[in-house]
Amino acid sequence: MTQVDEQPLLKTREEFPTLENSVHLISHSLGAMPRKAREHTKSFLDLWEQDSIEAWSNQWLPHMKTLGNLVAKVLGVDAGTVIMNQNVSTVQAIVASCFDWTQKRNKIVYSELEFSTVHYVWQAQARRGARVNILKSDDGMTVPLERLFNAIDEETLIVPLSHVLFRSSTLQDLKAIIKRAHEVGAYVLADCYQSAATIPLALKEWNVDFACGGSVKWACGGPGAAYLYVRPDLLPLMKPIDTGWFGHAEPFAFDMGEMRYANDMWRMVGGTPAIPALYSALAGWEIVAGLSQTAVRAKSLRQTTMLRSLAEKRGFQINTPHEDAQRGGTICFDFGGSDEVAKELNKRRFFCDWRPGCGIRASPHFYTTDEEISRFIDEVDRIR
Ligand SMILES: Cc1ncc(COP(=O)(O)O)c(C=O)c1O
């Protein structure tokens, strides 16, 4: 395991007042709120009040770009290649709406372990002619790479997959999957919601076609601020049916003729952006983008190992892969009555959650101390 200096990570605790009276092991679902989120949100309100319509062009739209560029840094892609939108379901639906599903190459391949919302988006493309191939998992945690490789063929158009699976925190081999997909001419859309800000990403180097995620979880940014990356050489081919005036080359021309898409990432936006959410998300992304992602990952692996061994000692069932290389930032553990214990933990301000078929999910993040992990497990003991 790589040894890193964890002090710069722990120093961020000053930015999270909520850590003074609660233990947050819930970054796979809702990252702790940074102090500055309030200040940035207030600055949105101040601009609205003071600058009125002037705020749009002078502040709000440039802010959307600033935030997209911070996200781009964390994803390991170039500035200007990421655009913000409301949520992952929306950005995936926009991507899906770019394709003609009546052609021979119209297969969508993903597994039953994906997050339900993206399944609803892709399954719905069947109504437009797509063939949806949902792969089974044998253990409820993983899908063998070979099974995925065999399913991705010359008729596959896209493979929408999570880099880290939400239920088990399994880290999928994105690089290898992209390579396989490209061998047969298929695209990969990587949902990095559960990996960005906890696992170092080099999406440009890995040559991913599309990537998306949101700000709610590991990025500590709150809801309503999702992101989409499109590989720059693919962008001119993208002509989403799900669109709106902010995707037009000249929104203020109010042109009623043929849609003329913007030349940049704005073409992937629909209507008016949700600006307040983009202000509340800024503080989290600023913190995350300022940290060494390698250090974040090394600390996460050390602390998830610690948490797992404490859970194992108590005889709990572990529902997360054992190997570091196959694991994201969460440890899932289960025992009889774990759902009730999770409810009580939250009441006592030990924030975590519970999912069927998985048990309690707990995620140390860059701000978590070892002492908090020990206290969390002690509290589990007390409640049981
Ligand atoms: C991997 C993954 N994708 C997507 C989502 C949610 O998508 P949306 O932003 O559409 O709510 C989640 C969890 O909330 C998730 O864990």
2-49 pLDDT, tens per residue? 678 999 999 999 999 999 999 999 999 999 999 999 999 999 999 999
Whether the pLDDT of residue 203 is over 90: the answer is yes
Kindly provide the b/e burial profile for residues 291-308, where b requires at least 16 CB atoms within 10 angstroms of the residue's own CB.
bebebbbbbbbbbbebbb
Tell me the H-state helices in 184-251.
none
Would you state the pLDDT for residue 3?
Answer: 79
Q: What's the CATH class of domain 7-32+292-383?
A: alpha beta
Cβ–ligand 1 distance for 281 under 6 Å, the answer no
Q: How far is the CA of 5 from the centre of ligand 1 (A)?
A: 32
Cβ–ligand 1 distance for 86 under 6 Å, the answer no
**CA dihedral sign of residues 112, 117, 122, 127:** positive
304-358 pLDDT, tens per residue? 999 999 999 999 999 999 999 999 999 999 999 999 999 999 999 999 999 988 9
Q: How far is the CA of 117 from the centre of ligand 1 (A)?
A: 7
Which atom of ligand 1 approaches the CA of 86 most closely?
9
Cβ–ligand 1 distance for 115 under 6 Å, the answer yes
Would you state the pLDDT for residue 179?
Answer: 98
Would you state the pLDDT for residue 2?
Answer: 67
Mean pLDDT estimate for the chain: 97
Whether the pLDDT of residue 369 is over 90: the answer is yes
Q: How far is the CA of 119 from the centre of ligand 1 (A)?
A: 11
Q: Who contacts 190 (Cβ-Cβ below 8 Å, separation ≥6)?
A: 161, 162, 163, 174, 178, 203, 208, 210, 211, 212
Tokens 């009040």: give the residue. Answer: 49
CB 152 within 8 A of CB 159: yes
Task: Name the strand (E) or helix (H) holding 54.
Answer: helix 54-55
Residue intervals in the chain for CATH 3.40.640.10: 41-289
Q: How far is the CA of 384 from the centre of ligand 1 (A)?
A: 31
Cβ–ligand 1 distance for 363 under 6 Å, the answer no
Distance CA 11, CA 164 (A): 27
Q: What's the CATH class of domain 41-289?
A: alpha beta
Task: Name the strand (E) or helix (H) holding 289.
Answer: helix 282-289
User: Which residue's CA is the closest to the ligand 1 atom numbered 7?
Assistant: 88
Cβ–ligand 1 distance for 6 under 6 Å, the answer no
Residue intervals in the chain for CATH 3.90.1150.10: 7-32+292-383
236-251 pLDDT, tens per residue? 999 999 999 999 999 9
Q: How far is the CA of 122 from the centre of ligand 1 (A)?
A: 14
Cβ–ligand 1 distance for 224 under 6 Å, the answer no
Cβ–ligand 1 distance for 85 under 6 Å, the answer no
Q: How far is the CA of 101 from the centre of ligand 1 (A)?
A: 24
**How confident is residue 1, by pLDDT bands cut at 50, 70 and 90?**
low
Distance CA 34, CA 285 (A): 10
Supply the Cα-derived Rg of the chain in whole angstroms. Answer: 21
